[in-house]
Amino acid sequence: MGEFELIRRFFAAASCAQPAEGVARGIGDDCALLDLPPGEQLAVSTDTLVAGVHFPVSCDPFLLGQRALAVSASDLAAMGATPIGFTLALTLPTADADWLQAFARGLDVMARQCRLALIGGDTTRGPLCLTLTVFGRVPRGQALTRDGARPGDLLCVGGDLGDAAGALELVLERMSAPEEVAAPLLARYWSPQPQLTLGQALRGRASAALDISDGLLADCGHIANASAVALKIEAARVPLSPALLALLGESRAVECALGGGDDYLLAFTLPEQHLPALRAEDWPVRVIGRVEAGEGVQLLDAAGRVIDPPARGYQHFGSAGD
């Protein structure tokens, strides 16, 4: 199978590569052409995943395609951007039709879920490696950046944390669990749900935002630095799923939630007056702390005393080299 046959069969023919809103020209020319409505800015983010560094060489290609795109789309969510499309630069050791078919299917499932059109890419031979670049649009000046947090704002997250870090124990076969515990955790690992609609709902409301990829404490540190404020996290308010608690018990579950990576949920700061409307619209907003004057991230116990964060218990292949 030649390069052009491969591109046509697995990528140009995929349903996510068909004509889509905002895409004036997709796969097949020297460049794709995107239409941007007047008054909007283009949001762009690139991620590279290297086999043996970011994922095991032997991992399921369907799950890899699905997860790779979800991770990239999560950056659009974190900026409050509306998805347009993505490019795929794929380096492959061999053109294995079964592998490509499954990979393209996983990619297509997530692409349709996120409303991201496949608009181009590059295909080369070499050690397995993927680079995805995602494109989105956001009304000028309304992107959710990391530098707008102000003392008095609430610190919030978009759902239960630590599930993907807990799932890694299962993925790496360091633990096993009954189906009802394993299934929801593995789903959070292999099929993260980028919080795209939440990100868009936070435009004009959240003062700062990012997606949690390296663990809550580490990522909150980025907001604290960029905004020159302190973030105070109340450990007892960090939301944990029943499945994670069942797998690990409370203290290790909290460790995963604070230090584990790969959640791909949003963390954001919010002037308090916006909370009632977000709650009324039923967005998954969990308040876990506050922004104060100062610097860095502090963890507080129920009495408001500063406590040491638990040691980072788990090293993820998901976070290496990010």
- What 3-state DSSP class applies to 257? helix
Within its chain, how far is the Cα of 141 from the centroid?
Answer: 22
Note whether 208 and 143 are within 8 A (CB). no
Which lies closer to ligand ADP via its Cβ, residue 131 or residue 319? 131
Strands 286-292 and 154-157: antiparallel
- Each residue 72-101 as x (binds ligand ADP by CB under 6 A) or -, in order, gives ----------------x-x-----------
Which lies closer to ligand ADP via its Cβ, residue 132 or residue 144? 132
Note whether 116 and 83 are within 8 A (CB). yes
Cα end-to-end distance, the chain, whole Å: 33
Q: Determine, following the binding rule CB under 6 A, whether residue 7 of this chain makes contact with ligand ADP.
A: yes
| Phi and psi at residue 293, to the nearest 5° | -65, 145
Q: Is 96 annotated as a binding residue?
A: no
Among 5, 21, 96, 122, binds Mg ion (CB under 5 A): 122
With CB under 6 A as the rule, give the number of residues binding ligand ADP: 13
Distance CA 230, CA 117 (A): 39
- Each residue 111-130 as x (binds ligand ADP by CB under 6 A) or -, in order, gives -------x-xxxx-------
Q: Is 189 annotated as a binding residue?
A: no
Within its chain, how far is the Cα of 48 from the centroid?
Answer: 14
Distance CA 297, CA 184 (A): 30
Question: Stretches 17-25, 93-101, 114-122, 136-144: which one binds Mg ion (CB under 5 A)?
Answer: 114-122
Q: Is 314 annotated as a binding residue?
A: yes
Q: Is 72 annotated as a binding residue?
A: no
Minimum distance from CB of 3 to ligand ADP (Å)?
A: 7
Contact residues for ligand ADP, defined by CB under 6 A = 7, 11, 27-30, 88, 90, 118, 120-123
Give the annotated binding-site residues for substrate. Answer: 54, 262, 314
Contact residues for Mg ion, defined by CB under 5 A = 122
